[in-house]
Homo-oligomer: A and B are copies of this chain.
């Protein structure tokens, strides 16, 4: 970054912007993705997005409100800037001209801070503390450094520079379920066609590394309750091991009502609360954050939860303009439309290594006197994957995919034992079939991939990502081997995500957008596995009744009066409020 900021070409361009004297320019380096049909050696190039730290000049001031109208391209081998790319700032007029706002192109940008010490508004005062207290400690046990036991579940946790947190040898009550679970890849293609914005396509697992960018988590900040941390190992540029501290956290959460039935004859409720085990890691990839968590449940479900947060990548837009390719989220600040497409790698071993995949749908049948005289019936249709391949989500037919072990029959129902995945029916990659953006992320063309297990087949987008012009050795290649996948050692892949056309509410830091993928037992057990969770009782839960009489006392603390407390907080010195 320093090489870019000190380059004479860059300094010359910055001088033209007539920025305030004390302005500090900052640089976000981005991968320089290969262009279509490119024969140039793009692998040696880095593109930069440049910003000015806000006039306030606090080290944590938000640069993304002041995007510069040019990008500098660095040749890593030469160690110098080889090109300055003007950035279009004309909005719907798609004007490629530079400095369309005249001699002070960024004069309409305003400070928009998120860091609590420098926000203009006082923090709200009416959030009362909430503690998660486990007086007897958590219900989990950790042995052998990374082996976790909890509520009939057992698994091992690993850490990888590329995939971050990985899970291994997942069992319930001793029965094997999954050999390995991991976030295999993700891509974030941006939808602005104006060069060089078209090159923005992040691969935050394959390029940035979900392990390399994992946050060191902090007690009481990232985590609430009784928290166990795990360290990981990375390496420095000499290959020496570097400890990555507290990159994974483990804790329990209350999951609300787990199951309930009240016998209406006796009015006796049978009720349990669900307790969940959460193992979590947080990534900071430049401007953006991902919170990845695996959630284990007493009812046999495993969920993978993704929370997308952080700051959207921004670019400059002239005063008064709007754009087809994004939304204005702060004066002069265009947040570009983009997609997040993740690929989960699910390596099953349900009651053994040989498994099969069944696609299941609910299909209406025609009204007929023989079979369906009243027209109310449907059939559950099953299709088994014989060869490796792909499939897509279809919520309108209730489509789900079942991992089954055809050799093990559920004694109650007579079906093969299984776990089901209902794919999240996200919009798939929007980039056109001939675009490089799509060619190098073929995994984002389908929701479901079924492949035969092979050592090293771990990366949905292939080993090389942003700097390739097509996906090589990725899940599409694994699937196209057309291998026998019935009753074999197989892998199921699920591509999910979202198209994110930014809202004003997503700035300056976006509230978490949550996507949850579930793996649920489906005739794997012989009854509700959470049946033996004890009755929910006040003696254990120690809830507190909020009395009406107390409430008149709280009225004066209502949200509307926050401003009146400003001076008090300022004087107390516990919060700094400008």
Contact = CB atoms under 8 A, between A and B. Distances in A.
Interface in A249-298: 250, 252, 254, 256-266, 268-271, 273-275, 282, 284, 286-287, 289, 291, 297
Nearest to A511: B299
A380 B193 contact: no
Interface in A11-65: 26, 35-36, 59-60
A236 interface: no
A130 B275 contact: yes
A512 B362 contact: no
B142 A127 contact: no
B132 A367 contact: no
A220 B537 contact: yes
Contacts of A173: 559
B114 A546 contact: no
A375 B141 contact: no
B135 A132 contact: no
Contact of A151 (B436, B508, B545, B559): B559
From A114, A275, A426, residue with most partner B Cβ within 10 Å: A114
A550 interface: yes
A274 to B, nearest CB: 7
Contacts of A122: 532
Contacts of A201: 376
Given A223-B543, A270-B114, A309 B261 contact: yes
A116 interface: yes
Copies of this protein chain in the complex: 2
A109 to B, nearest CB: 12
A444 interface: no
Nearest to A502: B413
B138 A380 contact: no
Interface stretch (A77-85, A475-483, A486-494, A517-525): A517-525
Interface string A540-558: 1111111010111011011
A337 B376 CA distance: 11
A505 interface: yes
Given A432-B375, A435-B375, A538 B219 contact: yes
Given A310-B261, A412-B329, A198 B538 contact: no
Given A137-B546, A264-B284, A364-B432, 8 more contacts: A36-B375, A127-B151, A127-B275, A128-B136, A132-B543, A152-B560, A259-B509, A412-B504
A268 B505 contact: no
A235 interface: no
Given A130-B132, A511-B528, A259 B309 contact: yes
A528 B45 CA distance: 35
Contacts of A555: 141, 143, 149
A374 interface: yes
A190 interface: yes
16 contacts: A60-B266, A124-B152, A149-B559, A221-B537, A227-B544, A227-B546, A259-B509, A261-B311, A322-B413, A327-B413, A337-B362, A364-B430, A375-B436, A376-B431, A378-B430, A505-B529
Contacts of A397: 427
